Amino acid sequence: MNVHDYAFCRVQSTMCEAGDMEKVLCELDANLLVSLALGYSCVVYDFGSRDKKRGVPRALWYGTEFVRYALDWYWFDAKDDTQTPILR
């Protein structure tokens, strides 16, 4: 992939499980938020699933989808146009 510049940000699945979505948003890294705001491609890797049946971590199917929804709603005032998040 020839990636020279990278950063990381952790979205904790335990916060998603607890329904503490405000904390999920507050703990997002500023570099991630700026990259998203500038329209850069951000790739998500997550190998932490304990669900052997589905194999998809909660932080991925719940956390990142909620972050996308919340940022679209807040940044672009897309209260009427924002699609309902699709989980799983």
At 46-84, the pLDDT tens digits run 777 666 676 777 778 888 888 888 888 888 876 665 566
Tell me which long-range contacts 61-65 makes (C-beta under 8 A, separation of at least 24): 61/87, 61/88, 62/13, 62/16, 62/87, 63/11, 63/12, 63/13, 63/15, 63/16, 63/24, 64/11
The structural domains of the chain, with segments of one domain joined by +, span 13-75
Per-residue model confidence as pLDDT tens digits over 7-61: 888 888 888 888 888 999 999 999 989 988 898 888 887 777 666 676 777 778 8
pLDDT score for 87 = 58
pLDDT score for 46 = 75
pLDDT score for 80 = 62
pLDDT score for 28 = 92
pTM over 0.85: no
